[in-house]
Amino acid sequence: MTEKQSHPFLRDTYAGRSVKSACGITIDIGRQRLTAKDLKGLFKLAEEKGVLEANAKMRSGEIVNESEHRPALHTALRDTSVSAPFHKEVTEALNHLCNFAEDVRSGLFCGCRGDAITDIINIGIGGSEMGPRAVWHALRYVQPSICLHFLSAADGVLFDRIVSGLNPFKTLVVVSSKSFGTRETMVNAAAVDQWLLDAGITGKDRNHHMVVVSAKRDAAEQMNLPEANLFPIWDWVGGRFSVWSSIGLPCAVALGPEVFRQLLAGAHAMDAHVADAPTEDNLALILALLSYRNAQEGVATHCFLPYDERLRTMVFWLQQLEMESLGKSTAIDGSRVACRTGQGVWGGHGNESQHSFYQWLREGTASSSVDLCWCEKPGHRHADLHRVLIANAKAQAEALVTRDPTDEFSNAVTTISIDELTPARLGALMALYEHKTTMLGTLFGINPFDQPGVELGKKLSRSAEATFAAH
């Protein structure tokens, strides 16, 4: 008979050291399936592969996106120090964004008839939609004075559902596309522009209702808008890392520029932690190493389970962040990657998911890694509801790992608790996962900043559309 392999808990050999904290975020890795010796080996691997050195090169502005010969400087977007790369340009763009947001909120910038802006339609897809959506859903007010709507897919049903309830004279349209050539975004922009025209908003009146976010300096001109309606981004900011840039404009308007600045400050605080923390206390490095090990051990999926309504849409942002960055089979040098790269990322609201797919996690014939996430302080006044919610989160963290340690299948669980979901804490959480992802790129030996498969899909879609039009 084949001897069963044991899947020990880290907490059994790493007692008292499995809980780490930074920036108001606490992770408990004690339910991961490895020993202290294994973890020590992972720290050594990180040193051998130069993970922290690679992270420092990224933050300093060196060329790390080698296939596109660009730096990846999303961290510079939240660094206010004068020594930060592109400090002048970033500061000017941020001030432009925040000043505009304040103008809209105060009524200084208004609709063509003098109406206050009450709704924003964000037209964008991928990183131009998922980051802003995650921020908006997490931080939106119970009764917002400005509502934010997301038009991403080229789907007429979605279009109709959004515009049917809006007054065009009280609506601001934000067209976000780094290339200003993304097909879904441009066809949606044309449809919304027609909606404005049908309402009688023509000529210079459109200037009061539409702005563009793009790396293309003639993007405003392409939309027959003045240059003042352009909010720039840079080619050294990847879409899935871009919420800190002008891509976050709709959030700054809907939530307020100070909220947006706090979001950036929280992300920068996590950047500082990653740069300065000792290896064994570095939250991003620890999460990256555990994900690397789980992938190599054949754990093909990673499940993000927030026990907080405000974090529900982070699942989709995280899905794009990790899977678009790490779904690669070719190494930086062009060779075939020898190891398993990345995991399939999925999830849902934790409490709801207990009554949906937890059965599969608990007793199914597969192993998964899991992040259970909750906030210690509620974002509401309903103490009884919060008590039940957090009790479920903490109970399920244990329930998901109750299998026999010699079972063929086992789950590896990390809990992530946030003291309070402020804009700064949200920024820190999102930056934590960004650093985890880029560090995994170094561990796997791949470029986490390009997306050749996505670009191929765009090319084939254009070809298919041309064929469809011809018939």
Distances in Å between the alpha carbon of 258 and those of 52, 81, 97, 385?
A: 32, 18, 11, 30
Q: Give the whole-angstrom CA distance, residue 233 versus residue 224.
A: 19
Element (H, E) at 434: helix 423-444
Residues 314-323 have a mean pLDDT of 98
132, pLDDT greater than 60: yes
Q: What is the pLDDT of residue 463?
A: 63
113, pLDDT greater than 80: yes
179, pLDDT greater than 50: yes
Chain-centroid distance, C-alpha 80: 21
Residue partners of 246: CB distance under 8 A and separation at least 6: 93, 97, 213, 231, 232, 233
User: Structure tokens of 4?
Assistant: 């069963």
Task: Give residue 1's pLDDT band: very low, low, confident or very high (50, 70, 90).
Answer: very low
Q: What is the pLDDT of residue 242?
A: 97
296, pLDDT greater than 60: yes
For the chain, the domains span 10-62+277-454, 74-260
Distances in Å between the alpha carbon of 334 and those of 51, 62, 292, 324?
A: 20, 20, 21, 18
Q: What is the pLDDT of residue 457?
A: 63
270, pLDDT greater than 90: yes
DSSP 235-302: TTS-GGG-TTTGGGHHHHHHH-HHHHHHHHHHHHHHHHHHHHS-GGG-HHHHHHHHHHHHHHTT--EE
User: Structure tokens of 254?
Assistant: 């809907």
Lowest mean pLDDT among 141-145, 159-163, 437-441: 141-145
User: Structure tokens of 240?
Assistant: 């899935």
Q: Which CATH entry fits the domain spanning 74-260: 1.20.1250.20, 3.40.50.970, 3.30.360.10, 3.40.50.10490?
A: 3.40.50.10490
- Is 355 catalytic? The answer is yes
Distances in Å between the alpha carbon of 158 and those of 197, 251, 428?
A: 19, 20, 32
Architecture of domain 10-62+277-454: 3-Layer(aba) Sandwich (3.40)
pLDDT tens by residue, 2-12: 456 678 999 99
425, pLDDT greater than 60: yes
Tell me the percentage of the chain whose pLDDT exceeds 90. Answer: 90
Q: What is the pLDDT of residue 118?
A: 98
Q: What is the pLDDT of residue 2?
A: 45
Q: Which of 57, 87, 170, 458 is catalytic?
A: 458
Q: Give the whole-angstrom CA distance, residue 220 versus residue 210.
A: 9
90, pLDDT greater than 80: yes
Task: Give residue 408's pLDDT band: very low, low, confident or very high (50, 70, 90).
Answer: confident
Please, what is the average pLDDT of the chain? 94
Instruction: Say if residues 231 and 239 touch (Cβ distance below 8 Å).
Output: no
pLDDT tens by residue, 24-46: 999 999 999 999 999 999 999 99
Residues 341-358 have a mean pLDDT of 96
Q: Which of 324, 434, 435, 436 is catalytic?
A: 324
pTM above 0.85? yes
- Is 324 catalytic? The answer is yes
pLDDT tens by residue, 368-394: 999 999 999 999 999 999 999 999 999
Task: Give residue 188's pLDDT band: very low, low, confident or very high (50, 70, 90).
Answer: very high
Residue type (1 letter), 362: R
353, pLDDT greater than 80: yes
220, pLDDT greater than 50: yes
Q: What is the pLDDT of residue 406?
A: 78
359, pLDDT greater than 90: yes
Residues 99-128 have a mean pLDDT of 98
Q: Which of 69, 88, 355, 471 is catalytic?
A: 355
